[in-house]
Each structure stands twice: as structure tokens, then as C-alpha cells.
Amino acid sequence: MKVILLQDVKAQGKKGDIVNVSDGYAKNFLFPRNLAKEASASALNEVKLRKEAENYRHDQEKQAAIENKAILDKATLVYKTTGGADGRLYSAVTSKDISEMIKKELGIDIEKKKISVDEVIKTVGEYKVTVKLFPEISSVIKVIVEG
């Protein structure tokens, strides 16, 4: 019997997969627990439409990431903060600070988890920061810290 999985089922597949199972397994285990539904024509069409919508959304997010990468690659951010006379800062510049600066100056909202600072920014100077925009798209921003 062909069924569409409504949730991940161990040893069968992931949510949305169409799998062949025995009639007894489907009727006695999968259907009563709402883990699957029968693969009728309307249900198959619904799965197809859902996958198309998901692919469209994925393509839109990827296109937005490419556009943001073009903006971020050209950007140089200047972060002004207070520090001691020897060039050391009173507090480190974090990914949260950089995220807020990107949103304020460039208008691009990026989560702080997607910003990777290679070294701890505790002194005045110029740093390279990596921003992961999409699984295979990332950008490097130049951040200048002034005291």
C-alpha cells in the first residue's frame, strides 16, 4: 500500500515521503497514530504543490542572499566605542554588535548566530568578519573599530 508520511517514521522515511508499506502495518500502526495517510490522487497532488511551494521559497531566499552578498561585500563598517589609552577596548565587540550595526547602516537583518568573528575583537583596528547568508553563500565584511 502506498502511503504519505505525515511525520518522520523510523526505518520508513521522513515527513512528506511516499513509501510502500504492507496493508497491515499501515492500517494497524501508521493510520491510528496519524503517522501517515493513504496516497490518494488528491493527497499526492497536495504533496506535489507543497514541494513546489517549498522549492519556490527556497529559491527566493537564495536570491535574496545573493543580493545581500553583493551589498555586504562592498561594505566597510566603522564601529566607534570607548577604550583605554593603549588601544584596548573596555568591552569586546560581539557578533550582536555587528548584527545591529549591519541592520542600522545597511538595512539588512542578519541573526547574530550567522556572524562568525575569527578572533575576539578587544583592540582598535581592522578586522574581517564572515557572515553566512545561506548554506553555500557567505560574505566577508571589513569592520574597523575606532576608540
Residues 6+ apart with CB under 8 A from 115: 95, 98, 99, 129, 130, 131, 132
Check whether residue 93 and residue 55 sit in a common domain: no
Classify residue 13 by its DSSP letter: B
Angle value at C-alpha 136, between 133 and 138, nearest 5 degrees: 40
Q: What is the number of structural domains in the chain? A: 2
pLDDT for 24-74, tens place per residue?
A: 999 999 999 999 999 999 999 998 999 999 999 999 999 999 999 999 999
Domain span at residue 122? 63-146
Please indicate, yes or no, whether residues 81 and 42 belong to a single structural domain of this protein.
Answer: no
pTM of the model: 0.73
Same domain for 82 and 131, yes or no, is: yes
What CATH number should be reported for the domain holding residue 97? 3.10.430.100
Q: Measured at the alpha carbon of residue 77, what is the angle toward residues 113 and 101, in degrees to the nearest 5?
A: 50
